[in-house]
């Protein structure tokens, strides 16, 4: 079992197990809420800045000094101070509930999103599935808001949202399935780690089909989080403001927090599924990792030794873990940067393109996205089968560096089968069907240390 | 899904839900002011549209019957507030027709410069606002960026940025300041390449074409029947422009100017070799064509202003002396139409020999252009309603007066 935050509390502070887990859960939740809330603040500010620059304006400049970085906070204060209006015709319970459903769904999905190797609030073997499922709940928020508002324009927005999001879930799911079956796991940490190494190892460059799939995924993700040109549910020029026409103040802002939260979520998911997750385009991390192992770790060891006076239970093995966490935080930056790029692209698209019409949105989904996703799904599958049966590693780009990559991905099935067998023989308690459980490929004694390093999944 | 149906009652497979009556406006972001459209919708399909007007009625015409012609000039500004210069010009010419005032060459060229600059400014707003109607924000600000420079020029000439009251019966209130022409030329020089930017953002944008091509198709006959004028009429392929076909008193301003009426002939627009080709999906008379005519008119206006600047600097005479504030009007009546950016803008006044006209009326181009909405929007989708209404480029101030 890998050391978790709960273990840390349990071992170091001698907390009872239940209390240790509760503390850990609170810490995780607070961290996630902080990340998402601060993220939303940042993205709203960024949106204003990006749109300003695109439109030859400056955007916010005053609040908070240079770059107006406190603008969102000022907006937030304004929104809190605003009157909270519930229309007379509204179904007050649903009307008040709706913003929080979207908000909660958007935040919940972050539980399974790893920010770096193993840095997830909850390790899940079904992280991909969990995120998609929870994001699917978010659609209730606009539907309920539109239905409960007692306004016809809101109702239009709600119906559009329902039609659109339900349709786009289909190609979105198809796109997500491709990396899942290429890596043979739904565990996002494992998927991310399989793409270590040079950027040619990223799944987007795995074969031509995954490249197309990545583009389709991004399109569908944009649609499923209701961003332009698919923002029909809140189409200003047609439906006044769509489902949130009747909302004001803080309740209104919750819709936006949810929207920006989901934006980063789908971008982050894209980063992990297709763009190498927390691995940079050039494996500086690995090079640096070696550097850390030989130069920095001894220094950290001294610090850890000093710390050991405070935390009695620190073992020597923890030195390596600390070094790994430092490397991981660089990976986290990588991941955040990739997510940020995805969000910025969404903003760029929003401020450039006109909005599609509802029938065109549905056409895009049903006539283009679904068939393309389906064909690419089959294509990627065929490519994999050809690869697997012939045993030939046909590189798309030709350069491979590092420990992950296509070879890695290709062998993942074999490895799993092997390690599953090993697990079966050696550790009867370990899960047999899914060796990539959060505690990694258990007891795979036959594996070389190299493989262990790359397969270690979310564990330090 | 069919978006344009001959009979809106026959929806695909005759699947129908409950009809819903919704108000688009008067407080709606895409109705260009205070237009109120009552839509009868069947799901997303609009089966009936009825425009309601009158929310911006300010009795401008009645006020005109209590003021002398020069005093009424500021009220004309506020009719079509996006093209105040052109409205000033229309009223000035109508009054001059009544008093039979002859203008110097210089004053005529001055008026051409300002009227065409006003046309550019107005079409820029039309273009940008149309982008807003279709859900894209940036072209609006790109358009306003350039419009600001035109307004700067106007401000320098007359001190106002929106309601100019500059062209008055008899000429203009003042001559152009020193160096104005150079600044104007520099602006045109800088502005002309930017039009390509607008084409890239809107005219040739795939989504824009999807949203506008074959939407709101108006046949030439229909356009004529409804009395549509301006870019709306020419977008349907009717070759009619008052700057060429209007009354002598108006067209003589444009005598000797090289310009072509922007209308599609044999599938080609004049000067369209410089500009994006008509997309395959577009049908003559649809929203895309109405938009494109405006874009080409901007280019043409640049050309006319350049010619006018040349002529103005060499013309004889002065900028024209405004008629006296309380000058007695001769008994009689006069009606004159000019080509404002939105179409045929007519002013009518009857005098009983007083200095105050007995009757003042205006014929608004947007009013007639608006009248086609019910017919064009029948059977379209809700999202097409702003697209169609936006392509007519309405200004409510002019409709309600």
The tens digit of pLDDT for each residue in B369-382 reads 888 988 888 888 88
> Which of B132, B135, B386 is the best residue to mutate to test the A interface, defined by the most A CB atoms within 10 Å of its own CB?
B135
User: In Å, how far is A162's CA from the nearest CA of chain B?
Assistant: 14
Q: Quick one: average pLDDT of A244-265?
A: 86
d(CA B241, CA B230): 7
Q: What's the pLDDT score for residue A288?
A: 65
**Residue-by-residue DSSP string for A82-127:** S-----TTS-HHHHHHHHHHHHHHHHHHGGG--SSTT--SS--TTH
**Six-digit token string for B14:** 């005759």
Q: Which of the four pLDDT bands, split at 50, 70 and 90, describes residue B246?
A: confident
Q: Which of the four pLDDT bands, split at 50, 70 and 90, describes residue A445?
A: very low
CB of B1 closer than 8 Å to CB of B32? no
Q: What's the pLDDT score for residue A257?
A: 85
CB of B341 closer than 8 Å to CB of B86? yes
> In terms of pLDDT, which residue wins out, B366 or B316?
B366
φ/ψ of A53, rounded to 5, equals: -70, -40
Q: What's the pLDDT score for residue B273?
A: 64
**For chain B, what is the domain count?**
1
Q: What's the pLDDT score for residue A411?
A: 52
Q: Quick one: average pLDDT of A215-237?
A: 83
Quick one: which of B169, B189, B190, B195 has its CA closest to B96?
A: B169
CB-based contact A55 B383, cutoff 8 Å: no
Helix (H) or strand (E) holding A223: helix A208-224
Q: Is residue B40 part of a domain?
A: no
Among A152, A237, A358, the residue with its CB nearest the CB of B44 is A358
Among A232, A351, A357, the residue with its CB nearest the CB of B138 is A351
d(CA B332, CA B330): 6
The SS3 call for residue A334 is helix
User: In Å, how far is A56's CA from the nearest CA of chain B?
Assistant: 7
Among A152, A153, A353, the residue with its CB nearest the CB of B136 is A353
What is the average pLDDT value for chain A, to the nearest integer? 76
Quick one: which of B330, B333, B324, B380 has its CA closest to B353?
A: B330
Would the pLDDT of A306 be above 80?
A: no
Q: What's the pLDDT score for residue B121?
A: 92
Question: To which residue do tokens 């060429």 refer?
Answer: B244
d(CA B130, CA B140): 8
Q: Is residue B310 part of a domain?
A: yes
Q: What's the pLDDT score for residue B123?
A: 92
CB-based contact A57 B136, cutoff 8 Å: no
User: In Å, how far is B131's CA from the nearest CA of chain A?
Assistant: 7
Q: Is residue B41 part of a domain?
A: no
Greatest mean pLDDT among A236-240, A321-325, A410-414, B384-388 lies in B384-388
The nearest alpha carbon in chain A to B141 belongs to A55
What lies within 8 Å, CB to CB, of A234 at 6+ separation is A157, A226, A241, A242, A243, A244
Chain A touched by B49 (CB under 8 Å): no
Q: Which of the four pLDDT bands, split at 50, 70 and 90, describes residue A61?
A: confident
Among A152, A228, A358, the residue with its CB nearest the CB of B381 is A358
Q: Quick one: average pLDDT of A59-86?
A: 83
Q: Quick one: average pLDDT of A207-235?
A: 85
Would the pLDDT of B25 be above 80?
A: no
Which chain A residues are closer than 8 Å to B381 by Cβ? 357-359
Structural domain harbouring B119 = 60-400
Among A228, A238, A360, the residue with its CB nearest the CB of B382 is A238
User: In Å, how far is B178's CA from the nearest CA of chain A?
Assistant: 30
Chain A touched by B382 (CB under 8 Å): yes
Q: What's the pLDDT score for residue A406?
A: 47
pLDDT in tens, B277-292: 788 888 888 899 999 9
Q: What's the pLDDT score for residue A398?
A: 38
Cα torsion through A234, A239, A240, A246, rounded to 10: -70
CA geometry: angle A370, B3, B45, nearest 5 deg: 95
Which chain B residues are closer than 8 Å to A56 by Cβ? 141-142, 145
For the purposes of burial, counting CB atoms within 10 Å of the CB of B359, is it exposed (0-12), middle (13-18) or buried (19 or more)? middle
CB-based contact A54 B138, cutoff 8 Å: yes
Chain A touched by B243 (CB under 8 Å): no
Which chain B residues are closer than 8 Å to A152 by Cβ? 20, 22
pTM: 0.79
Which chain B residues are closer than 8 Å to A160 by Cβ? 44
Among A238, A354, A358, the residue with its CB nearest the CB of B30 is A238
Would the pLDDT of A242 be above 50?
A: yes
Q: Quick one: average pLDDT of A13-21?
A: 80
> In terms of pLDDT, which residue wins out, A240 or A387?
A240
Q: Is residue B120 part of a domain?
A: yes
DSSP conformation class of B323 = P
What are the Cα distances from residue A294, in Å, to A298, A316, B325?
A: 7, 15, 94
Would the pLDDT of A395 be above 80?
A: no
CATH of the domain at B153: 1.10.645.10
Q: Quick one: average pLDDT of A269-276?
A: 88
Q: Cis bond leading into B201, ω under 30°?
A: no
Quick one: which of A195, A87, A70 has its CA closest to A147?
A: A87
> Which of A239, A354, A355, A360 is the best residue to mutate to test the B interface, defined by the most B CB atoms within 10 Å of its own CB?
A354
User: In Å, how far is B150's CA from the nearest CA of chain A?
Assistant: 17
- Strands B332-340 and B359-363: what pairing? unpaired
The nearest alpha carbon in chain B to A362 belongs to B1
Q: Which region among A72-76, A146-150, A329-333, B175-179 has the lowest average model confidence (pLDDT)? A: A329-333
Among B142, B383, B384, the residue with its CB nearest the CB of A56 is B142
Which chain A residues are closer than 8 Å to B3 by Cβ? 359
In SS3 terms, B100-149 reads as CCCCCHHHHHHHHHHHHHHHHHHHHHHHHHHHHHCCCCHHHHHHHHHHHH
Would the pLDDT of A170 be above 50?
A: yes
Q: What's the pLDDT score for residue B2?
A: 44
Would the pLDDT of A309 be above 60?
A: yes
> Which of B20, B26, B138, B149 is the best residue to mutate to test the A interface, defined by the most A CB atoms within 10 Å of its own CB?
B138
Q: Is residue B218 part of a domain?
A: yes
The SS3 call for residue A340 is helix
> In terms of pLDDT, which residue wins out, A333 or A281?
A333
Q: Which of the four pLDDT bands, split at 50, 70 and 90, describes residue B335?
A: very high
Helix (H) or strand (E) holding A423: helix A405-426
- Is this prediction's ipTM beyond 0.95? no
Would the pLDDT of A228 be above 80?
A: no
Q: Which region among A19-23, A47-51, A285-289 has the lowest average model confidence (pLDDT)? A: A285-289
Q: Which of the four pLDDT bands, split at 50, 70 and 90, describes residue A296?
A: low
Q: What's the pLDDT score for residue A383?
A: 80
What lies within 8 Å, CB to CB, of B82 at 6+ separation is B121, B122, B125, B126, B341, B395
CB-based contact B207 A51, cutoff 8 Å: no
CB-based contact A237 B208, cutoff 8 Å: no
Q: What's the pLDDT score for residue B122?
A: 92
User: In Å, how far is B245's CA from the nearest CA of chain A?
Assistant: 37
Domain residue extents for chain A: 1-81, 83-460
Q: Which region among A180-184, A216-220, B12-16 has the lowest average model confidence (pLDDT)? A: B12-16
CB-based contact A355 B386, cutoff 8 Å: no
d(CA B154, CA B107): 16
Would the pLDDT of A234 be above 70?
A: yes
Q: Return the number of CB contacts < 8 Å for A and B.
A: 87
Chain A touched by B5 (CB under 8 Å): no
What is the average pLDDT value for chain B, to the nearest integer? 85
Q: Quick one: average pLDDT of A151-167?
A: 86
Q: Which region among A201-210, B113-122, B142-151, B224-233 has the lowest average model confidence (pLDDT)? A: A201-210
CB-based contact A355 B134, cutoff 8 Å: yes
Among B20, B136, B145, the residue with its CB nearest the CB of A152 is B20
Q: Is residue B235 part of a domain?
A: yes
Q: What's the pLDDT score for residue B120?
A: 93
Q: Which of the four pLDDT bands, split at 50, 70 and 90, describes residue A290?
A: low
Q: What's the pLDDT score for residue A137?
A: 87
The nearest alpha carbon in chain A to B142 belongs to A55
> In terms of pLDDT, which residue wins out, A428 or A118?
A118
Chain A touched by B194 (CB under 8 Å): no
The nearest alpha carbon in chain B to A355 belongs to B135
User: In Å, how far is A125's CA from the nearest CA of chain B?
Assistant: 40
Q: Which region among A69-78, A118-127, A427-436, B218-227 has the lowest average model confidence (pLDDT)? A: A427-436
Q: Is residue B359 part of a domain?
A: yes
> Which of A237, A241, A360 is the best residue to mutate to test the B interface, defined by the most B CB atoms within 10 Å of its own CB?
A237
Among B141, B207, B382, the residue with its CB nearest the CB of A55 is B141
Among A231, A232, A354, the residue with its CB nearest the CB of B205 is A354
What lies within 8 Å, CB to CB, of B165 at 6+ separation is B73, B74, B77, B84, B88, B158, B173
Which chain A residues are closer than 8 Å to B5 by Cβ? none
d(CA B45, CA A156): 11
CB of A336 closer than 8 Å to CB of A114? no
Chain A touched by B351 (CB under 8 Å): no
> In terms of pLDDT, which residue wins out, A458 or A258?
A258
The fraction of chain B above a pLDDT of 70, given in percent, is 94
Would the pLDDT of B317 be above 50?
A: yes
Q: Quick one: average pLDDT of B296-312?
A: 89
Q: For the sheet containing B36-42, what is the strand order?
A: B19-24, B36-42, B45-52
CB-based contact B386 A238, cutoff 8 Å: yes
Q: Which of the four pLDDT bands, split at 50, 70 and 90, describes residue B174?
A: confident
d(CA A420, CA A425): 9
């Amino acid at each position: 079992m890998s050391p978790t935050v709960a273990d840390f509390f349990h071992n170091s502070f001698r907390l009872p197990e239940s209390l240790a887990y509760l503390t850990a859960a609170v810490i995780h939740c607070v961290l996630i809420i902080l990340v998402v809330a601060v993220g939303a603040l940042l993205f709203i500010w960024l949106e204003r800045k990006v749109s300003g620059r695109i439109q030859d304006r400056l955007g916010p400049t005053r609040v908070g000094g240079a770059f107006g970085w406190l603008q969102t906070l000022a907006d937030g204060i304004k929104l809190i101070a605003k009157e909270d209006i519930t229309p007379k015709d509204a179904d007050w319970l649903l009307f008040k509930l709706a913003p929080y459903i979207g908000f909660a769904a958007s935040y919940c999905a972050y539980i399974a999103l790893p920010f770096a190797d193993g840095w997830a609030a909850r390790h899940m073997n079904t992280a991909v599935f969990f995120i998609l499922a929870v994001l699917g709940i978010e659609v209730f928020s606009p539907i309920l808001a539109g239905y409960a508002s007692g306004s016809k324009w809101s109702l239009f927005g709600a119906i559009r949202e329902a039609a659109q999001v339900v349709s786009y879930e289909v190609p979105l799911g198809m796109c997500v399935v491709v990396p899942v079956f290429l890596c043979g796991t739904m565990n996002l940490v494992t998927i991310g780690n399989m793409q270590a190494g040079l950027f040619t190892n990223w799944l987007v460059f795995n074969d031509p089909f995954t490249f197309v799939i990545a583009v389709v995924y991004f399109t569908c993700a944009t649609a499923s989080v209701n961003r332009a040109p698919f923002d029909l549910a809140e189409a200003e020029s047609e439906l006044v403001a769509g489902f949130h026409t009747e909302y004001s103040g803080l309740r209104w802002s919750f819709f936006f927090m949810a929207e920006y939260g989901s934006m980063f979520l789908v971008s982050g998911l894209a980063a992990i599924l297709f763009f190498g997750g927390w691995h940079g385009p050039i494996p500086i991390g690995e090079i640096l990792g070696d550097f850390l192992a030989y130069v920095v770790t001894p220094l950290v060891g001294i610090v850890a030794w000093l710390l050991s006076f405070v935390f009695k239970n620190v073992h020597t093995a923890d030195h390596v873990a600390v070094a790994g966490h430092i490397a991981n935080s660089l990976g986290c930056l990588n991941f955040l940067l990739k997510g940020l790029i995805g969000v910025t692209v969404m903003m760029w698209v929003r401020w450039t393109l006109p909005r599609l019409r509802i029938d065109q949105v549905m056409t895009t989904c049903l006539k283009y996205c679904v068939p393309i996703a389906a064909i690419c799904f089959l294509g990627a599958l065929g490519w994999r089968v050809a690869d697997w049966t012939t045993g030939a590693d046909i590189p798309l780009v030709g350069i491979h560096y590092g420990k992950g990559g296509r070879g890695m991905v290709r062998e993942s099935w074999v490895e799993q089968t092997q390690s599953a067998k090993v697990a079966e023989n050696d550790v009867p308690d370990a899960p047999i069907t899914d060796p990539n459980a959060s505690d990694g490929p258990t007891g795979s004694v036959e594996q070389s240390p190299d493989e262990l390093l790359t397969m270690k999944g979310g564990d330090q | 899904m069919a978006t344009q149906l001959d009979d809106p009652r026959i929806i695909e497979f005759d699947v129908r839900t409950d009809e819903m009556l919704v108000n688009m406006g008067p407080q709606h972001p895409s109705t260009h002011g205070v237009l109120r459209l009552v839509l009868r919708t069947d799901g997303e399909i609009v089966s009936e549209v009825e425009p309601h007007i009158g929310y911006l009625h300010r009795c401008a015409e009645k006020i005109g019957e209590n003021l002398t012609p020069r005093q009424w000039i500021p009220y004309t500004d506020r009719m079509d507030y996006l093209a105040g210069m052109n409205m000033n010009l229309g009223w000035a010419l109508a009054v001059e027709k009544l008093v039979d005032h002859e203008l110097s060459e210089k004053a005529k060229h001055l008026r051409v410069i300002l009227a065409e600059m006003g046309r550019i400014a107005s079409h820029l707003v039309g273009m940008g606002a149309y982008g807003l109607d279709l859900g894209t924000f940036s072209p609006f600000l790109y358009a306003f960026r350039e419009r600001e420079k035109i307004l700067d020029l106007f401000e320098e000439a007359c001190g106002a940025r929106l309601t100019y009251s500059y062209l008055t019966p008899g000429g203009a209130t003042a001559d152009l300041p020193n160096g104005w022409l150079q600044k104007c030329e520099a602006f045109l020089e800088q502005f002309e390449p930017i039009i390509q930017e607008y084409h890239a953002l809107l005219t040739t944008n795939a989504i824009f074409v999807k949203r506008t091509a074959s939407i709101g198709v108006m046949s030439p006959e229909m356009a004529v029947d409804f009395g549509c004028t301006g870019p709306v009429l020419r977008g349907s392929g009717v070759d009619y422009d008052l700057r060429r076909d209007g009354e002598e008193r108006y067209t003589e301003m444009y005598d000797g100017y090289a310009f072509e009426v922007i209308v599609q002939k044999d599938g080609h627009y004049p000067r369209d070799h410089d500009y994006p080709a008509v997309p395959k999906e577009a049908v003559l008379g649809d929203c895309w064509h109405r938009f494109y005519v405006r874009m080409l008119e901007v280019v043409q206006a640049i050309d006319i202003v350049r010619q006018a600047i040349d002529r103005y600097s060499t013309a004889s005479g002065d900028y024209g002396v405004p008629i006296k504030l309380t000058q007695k009007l001769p008994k009689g009546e006069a009606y004159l139409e000019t080509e404002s950016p939105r179409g045929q803008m007519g002013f009518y006044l009857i005098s009983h020999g007083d200095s105050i006209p007995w009757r003042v009326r205006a014929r608004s181009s947007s009013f007639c252009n608006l009248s086609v909405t019910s017919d064009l929007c029948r059977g379209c989708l809700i999202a097409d309603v702003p697209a169609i209404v936006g392509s007519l480029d309405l200004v409510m101030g002019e409709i309600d007066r």
